[in-house]
Structure 1
Amino acid sequence: MTGDREYPHATTGTGRLITALAWALLLLGLWLWGREITGLPDRTDTPATGDVWAAGAADPALLPRAVAPIGDAVPQRIDIPRLGVQAPVVARGLDAQGAVDPPPFDQPGVVGWYGAGPKPGAQGPALLVGHVDTETRPAVFYKLSTLTPGATVRVVRSDGKVAEFTVDDIRVLPRTAFDAHQAYGPHRPGRAELRLITCGGSFDRVSRSYTANVVVNAYLTGITK
């Protein structure tokens, strides 16, 4: 994007091959997760906030410049001021089917981080997942689809630093044509990116799942202590 810095890093041919294979396996698991995370317990309501709208990509000239990625540190909390979200972050892995295991339904205020992937603030897309609702009430990412480009997302890390991200892209991706690379792959090589993901679309009573996923992309624009 215009105005964003590039952060080149040296890789050998073997390193590139290993990275490509690792991404292929990761995207396979994440594609499965993109299909399965939308499953919910028995319920009768149908809409999910932001089910048919997405802001899409912003004009890069109107957004702040990216800053260089920082070292690895585990995320502890996520703050989204525009949504009034302040939530703990816990590491999650893959389930028996190879899909990313989201936070349990009895923890609707918790955000899951895919712990085998990049850490927020480090190079690459860090994946944070949360439920849109439960059987009885909204969950942590209920209003995620109402974000617009330019919104701020802060992640408090275990090293005491706060990684500040700026939203530049919001999508609602249907399950019927789910594009794992578009959803989970890096949007700009060399950047530190953040991917916030929840259920979207309408609730299908037959399959007992939502029909889409809301995917918000943000990139690192500041670091504070």
Structure 2
Amino acid sequence: MADHERSTHAGRVLTGVVWTLLLLGLWLWGREVTDVRQDRSDPVAGDVAAVGRPASVRLPPVTRPLGGDARPLRLDIPGLDVRAPVVARGLDAHGAPDPPPYAQAGAVGWYAAGVRPGAAGAALMVGHLDTETRPAVFRHLGALRPGATLRVIRADGRVAVFTVEDVRTVPRDRFDAHQAYGVHRPGRAELRLITCAGTFDRATRGYTANLIVSAYLSGAVL
């Protein structure tokens, strides 16, 4: 095997290992941050509550992944009047993408070791629902519906345009990291927006569920 082939093979193996560890961490994270007492008074209804796509909503066609290696600078959600700076983040102590500190509750955290928005694969962005004193960047994320537009402004000057195709509230006892965070259709550029959902349990200081918005690349502005 040539040096170049060895390097490529090693890179693919390393990427696979990183994503396996990430998904394991996300599964543990999903269980931990939503772990609540079994006698909670306000359980989330259903196994997985999803916003179904209305029959009248026709989603635009998929756009091929963008080239380049540009990092995201800002996330715009026009329907929610959100224009949030994006900060690169790593993994927390539990092996999950680390959201911005509460002092930056208006920003969105992007898992920088993973996929860059607009590239093939599923890019992950995490934001707070609220803080102890005020709402945060993803406070109204659950209001999104299939067909809504998301825009990611990249460092190369391009704007990656995504279309929401699915909005799910996932209770902690039905959390599936591969389904929630893995690629839904191979070859597409996808985007996941993740925050807390359900009710807040003061005993465990955690929410009962996670909200996951799934979108795919449907356009690009140069």
TM bucket (normalised to shorter chain) is: 0.7 to 0.9
Contact 1:33 1:101 in 2 (8 A): no
Q: CA separation in 1, counterparts of 2:64 and 2:13?
A: 24
Give runs of aligned pairs for residues 40-189 of structure 1, distance below 5 A.
54-56=50-52, 62-71=58-67, 72-189=69-186
Q: 1:161 to 1:91 in 2, by over 3 A?
A: same
Cα deviation for residue 214 of structure 1 reads 0.3
Q: CA separation in 2, counterparts of 1:140 and 1:162?
A: 20
Pair 1:27-2:23 in alignment: yes
Give 3-state SS (helix, strand or coil) of 1:140's partner. coil
Contact 2:21 2:95 in 1 (8 A): no
Normalised to the residue count of structure 2, the TM-score between the two structures is 0.83
Aligned residues between the structures: 205
Identity of aligned residues (%): 65
Q: Which protein is bigger by CA-based radius of gyration?
A: 2
Contact 2:34 2:172 in 1 (8 A): no
Q: CA separation in 2, counterparts of 1:129 and 1:95?
A: 12
- Deviations along 1:70-96, whole A, 9 cap, x unmatched? 122100000000000000000100123
Normalised to the residue count of structure 1, the TM-score between the two structures is 0.82
Q: CA separation in 1, counterparts of 2:114 and 2:10?
A: 20
Contact 1:29 1:98 in 2 (8 A): yes
More divergent stretch after superposition (150-159 vs 134-143) = 134-143
- When the two chains are superposed, the root-mean-square deviation of aligned CA atoms in Å is 2.7
Q: CA separation in 2, counterparts of 1:140 and 1:63?
A: 26
More divergent stretch after superposition (15-24 vs 188-197) = 15-24
Q: CA separation in 2, counterparts of 1:114 and 1:59?
A: 34
Contact 1:76 1:89 in 2 (8 A): yes
More divergent stretch after superposition (148-157 vs 69-78) = 69-78
